[in-house]
Structure 1
Amino acid sequence: MGIFGLFGSGNVGNDGSLEAVLDHLRAAHPDAVVDALCGGPETVTARYGIPATRLHWYRGEYRTASRLKDVAGKGLGKLVDAFRIAAWVRRHDVVVVPGTGILESTLPLRPWGLPYSLFLLCGWGRVLRARVALVAVGASETGSRPVRVLTRWAARLAAYRSYRDTLSRDAMRAMGVDTTGDQVHTDLVFALPTPPRGDLSGPPGPVCVGIMDFHGSNDERDRARELNSRYLDGITRFVGALAAEGRPVRLLTGDDVDRPVAEAIIEAVDSPMVTAAATASLGDLMKEMTVADAVVATRYHNLVCALKVGTPALSVSYAAKSDRLMADMGVGAYCHSAREIDADRLLEQFRELERNRSRVRRILAERNVVLVGRVRQQFAALSALLPGSDPAPAPAGQETP
């Protein structure tokens, strides 16, 4: 069995989806032989103990090609990757693409990057009769025609599709994919172990602020600098206001690219009340959040972690998926746009969240029970795809939307 995705590349949300699937396979299918085609094979092998192959032949794939040599390297890499992916797919009966926003364009991307690789994966899967399964993935519409075409055909060629929310299924339907038989479950990260909560009767904990190197979506490249400046200014002012009140603030990241943002905020606020946490996994993030009074999060999987551990959270949403998740968890009132960030309004929403802290905790506890059931359904469906497996029944009382 093969696993495909941008794992080991510095994004802890992506790695959390991989970890959730590996935990399931090791518990339910201990004899399964698993390897990965991914962004950071050395990290994946060291951290998760599975063989891994580099997704892109050209190591400068994600660097801007400013010289003729770089352009030629990328072009040759696309050709080489077509054969490398075919050779990798040929070795597997089933290839799983676990979770992540693999079908999204909510962040900047180029059609010849991940969309092209995913199209090759699904196309070769159809040709070589290897079942490619898109499992609980995220999706969004895009204004880029090349990305749209590649994404649509990748999804059509996959043998199995399920989504982490109805928004994703609706997006694929709008892009011309027949989603009649596609299921909606929830994000795979809800299957990860939840650390025990801190002592809520003790002294007040910090406010965790999950930050992001935000530049808008793939369709907003012309506004990237403006959006980044506005976001950074708004978050910095918010953090500064909390620090001025004597509130300890822990800055959390979700990707390696976020670390300079944390450093810039710390420098600008210049207060001992503001510190940055060293987090290398979603488990690390959840441990920070279990002792927090509240979480204000931008990255989607920072938000998932806060909701999963039951800490009251406010979403600084950069994509509709965050708003949908908050609504599904019963706390949709606590959303703020990353594009139109207003520090004063964000503070008002934060204070309202704190006033309703006890009620929010109860709501999150109830919703988490439902979501765990949906993840079990998804894993039962995944098990049914494996060679020699009989379809497992879904947990009683849990239905997909």
Structure 2
Amino acid sequence: MTSAHRPPVRVGVFGLLGSGNLGNDGSLEAVLEYLRAAHPQASVDALCGGPEVVAARYGIPARRLHWYRGEYRTASRAGAVAGKALGKAVDVVRTASWVRRHDVVIVPGMGVLEATLPLRPWGFPYALFLLCAAGRLCGTPVALVGVGAGAVRARPTRALVRWSARLAAYRSYRDAPSRDALRAMGVDTARDGVHPDLAFALPAGGPVPVTPGRVCVGVMDFHGGDDDRPRAGEIHRRYVDGTIRFVRALAGDGRSVRLLTGDDCDARVVAEILDAVRSPLVTAAGAASLAELTKEAAAAEAVVATRYHNLVCALKAGTPTLAVSYAAKSDALMARMGLAAFCHPAAALDADRLLDQFRSLESRSAQVRRTLAERNLLVAGQLRDQFAALSAALFPAAGPTHAHATREAP
């Protein structure tokens, strides 16, 4: 059959997409841009957390990830518990039926194999396992593309993560620690690639003038990781109080501060900071996409941020950046971009030490900008390799592409 008469490839995209997390949606957008450029005849739809948002924003058909609408709310009443239990059974059929209708399913980026934030095994880890198992049973390859992974101690979650990865037909990671974590969990990663985060592949915006004195501070509704549940309140309070002190010090020096977020839940922390600092120099940015976050970061003299994709946007913009790190992925990203010295632990935030690191970053601003310009060029090439490898693995009939050897930034 010639390519002119070949039916379009049916591609499904899967994940917590359209649910208020800008990083997840940015990863989806990058994969959709790739598909439209490299495989324009592909027919694409989604099984996702926010189908209405995905359909309206990206123009693709979408359906709800879970049958039970209250999946991510705590179930305390008998009716809610029964609804969740029934939903687990119904989702087996729904997921398998959806997978069977596709030639390929892509999970675009996201930390789908990690537990750096509080996570229940029967939520998304279970949904991902159903997807990968259905793909294996139905003969539909499932590709985990540029995903994040991490050490998982809770046994049920660890088992689901391990089997999801084993059942996937293709795996690549956004950093080396992710690949190492899966290897430590008993997954054969010898043929898996490591590439920069998919969000680096999003189209670059036009030049943005830098606003003198402006600092972007990315905040997060941070309560520690999955293993920190007993201390979640204490960790959250220390993080917020330290961030308030840091922002207050910047405003006291006459700096204008723009507060950035990356998920709808972060608005609570923004409101608390604004109420505590009460300065006209401190304002909140209403960025609704990674493109808008990148524009905000590009207009700043420096960025200090917690959320992983706040960091991605700032580094992509070439702005001197300091990471308030809550996971190995942030440290790995900063090292990839030549800024390993500028990481600060989110779980033990110390405003005075953070200020010292910030001043050190600013004193090296020109050098940092040159380093980021060089690293961004390298990242662009590495992502071209990622998409070429993905086409070779999943779309072999579409034409010749060249696989790659994994390349890492020095």
Matches of 2:96 and 2:383, distance apart in 1: 31
Return the letter of the residue paired with 1:240: R
The match for 1:366 is 374
Find the residue that maps to 2:348 and give its secondary structure. coil
**Which structure 1 residue ranges, 5 or more long, are not aligned?**
none
Find the residue that maps to 2:106 and give its secondary structure. strand
> Could you list the per-position Cα deviations for residues 110-161 of structure 1 after superposition, in whole angstroms to 9, with x for gaps in the alignment?
0001110100100010000000001111000111000000000000000011
- The partner residue of 2:402 within 370, 382, 393 is 393
The alignment status of 1:281 with 2:283, answered yes or no, reads no
- The partner residue of 1:67 within 67, 73, 77 is 77
The match for 1:299 is 307
Matches of 2:144 and 2:163, distance apart in 1: 13
The match for 1:28 is 38
Please report how far the alpha carbon of residue 15 of structure 1 lies from its aligned counterpart in structure 2 after TM superposition. Answer: 0.1
The match for 1:336 is 344
The match for 2:3 is none
Matches of 1:167 and 1:341, distance apart in 2: 23
Q: How many residues align?
A: 398
Asked if 2 retains the 8 angstrom alpha-carbon contact of 1:289 and 1:295, the reply is yes
Matches of 2:213 and 2:42, distance apart in 1: 43
The match for 1:104 is 114
Please report how far the alpha carbon of residue 386 of structure 1 lies from its aligned counterpart in structure 2 after TM superposition. Answer: 2.1
Find the residue that maps to 2:46 and give its secondary structure. strand
Matches of 1:22 and 1:199, distance apart in 2: 29
- The partner residue of 1:264 within 268, 272, 277 is 272
Matches of 2:268 and 2:156, distance apart in 1: 32
The match for 1:171 is 181
Asked if 1 retains the 8 angstrom alpha-carbon contact of 2:194 and 2:406, the reply is no
- The partner residue of 2:243 within 235, 238, 246 is 235
Matches of 2:320 and 2:292, distance apart in 1: 18
Please report how far the alpha carbon of residue 391 of structure 1 lies from its aligned counterpart in structure 2 after TM superposition. Answer: 4.7
Asked if 2 retains the 8 angstrom alpha-carbon contact of 1:131 and 1:159, the reply is yes
Correspondence 1:154-165 to 2 at 5 A: 154-165=164-175
User: Once the two structures are aligned, what percentage of the paired residues are identical?
Assistant: 66
The match for 2:358 is 350
Return the letter of the residue paired with 1:338: A
Find the residue that maps to 2:397 and give its secondary structure. coil
Return the letter of the residue paired with 1:374: Q
Matches of 2:269 and 2:196, distance apart in 1: 30
> Could you list the per-position Cα deviations for residues 55-87 of structure 1 after superposition, in whole angstroms to 9, with x for gaps in the alignment?
011111111111111111111111111110000
The match for 2:389 is 381
Return the letter of the residue paired with 2:398: S
The match for 1:37 is 47
Return the letter of the residue paired with 1:220: D
Matches of 1:208 and 1:76, distance apart in 2: 45
The alignment status of 1:246 with 2:246, answered yes or no, reads no
Asked if 2 retains the 8 angstrom alpha-carbon contact of 1:197 and 1:291, the reply is no
The alignment status of 1:141 with 2:154, answered yes or no, reads no
> Could you list the per-position Cα deviations for residues 263-295 of structure 1 after superposition, in whole angstroms to 9, with x for gaps in the alignment?
110000011110000011001101111110100
The alignment status of 1:313 with 2:321, answered yes or no, reads yes
The alignment status of 1:195 with 2:205, answered yes or no, reads yes
The alignment status of 1:183 with 2:193, answered yes or no, reads yes
Return the letter of the residue paired with 1:183: G
The match for 1:13 is 23
Asked if 2 retains the 8 angstrom alpha-carbon contact of 1:210 and 1:299, the reply is yes
Asked if 1 retains the 8 angstrom alpha-carbon contact of 2:221 and 2:269, the reply is yes
Return the letter of the residue paired with 2:239: Y
Correspondence 1:84-95 to 2 at 5 A: 84-95=94-105
The match for 2:4 is none
Return the letter of the residue paired with 1:38: C
Asked if 1 retains the 8 angstrom alpha-carbon contact of 2:193 and 2:406, the reply is no
Asked if 2 retains the 8 angstrom alpha-carbon contact of 1:132 and 1:158, the reply is yes
The match for 1:79 is 89
What TM-score do the two structures reach when normalised by structure 1?
0.97
Find the residue that maps to 1:344 and give its secondary structure. helix
Asked if 2 retains the 8 angstrom alpha-carbon contact of 1:89 and 1:95, the reply is yes
**Which structure 2 residue ranges, 5 or more long, are not aligned?**
1-10
- The partner residue of 1:217 within 225, 237, 245 is 225
Matches of 1:394 and 1:139, distance apart in 2: 23
Asked if 1 retains the 8 angstrom alpha-carbon contact of 2:325 and 2:344, the reply is yes
Matches of 1:156 and 1:360, distance apart in 2: 40
- The partner residue of 1:130 within 132, 137, 140 is 140
Please report how far the alpha carbon of residue 205 of structure 1 lies from its aligned counterpart in structure 2 after TM superposition. Answer: 4.2
Please report how far the alpha carbon of residue 389 of structure 1 lies from its aligned counterpart in structure 2 after TM superposition. Answer: 2.3
Matches of 1:289 and 1:399, distance apart in 2: 27
Computed over aligned residues only, the root mean square deviation of the Cα atoms, in angstroms, reads 1.3
Asked if 2 retains the 8 angstrom alpha-carbon contact of 1:196 and 1:290, the reply is no
Asked if 2 retains the 8 angstrom alpha-carbon contact of 1:122 and 1:158, the reply is yes
Please report how far the alpha carbon of residue 394 of structure 1 lies from its aligned counterpart in structure 2 after TM superposition. Answer: 5.2
Matches of 1:97 and 1:247, distance apart in 2: 41
Asked if 2 retains the 8 angstrom alpha-carbon contact of 1:294 and 1:311, the reply is yes
Find the residue that maps to 1:327 and give its secondary structure. helix
Return the letter of the residue paired with 1:213: D
Matches of 1:85 and 1:192, distance apart in 2: 29
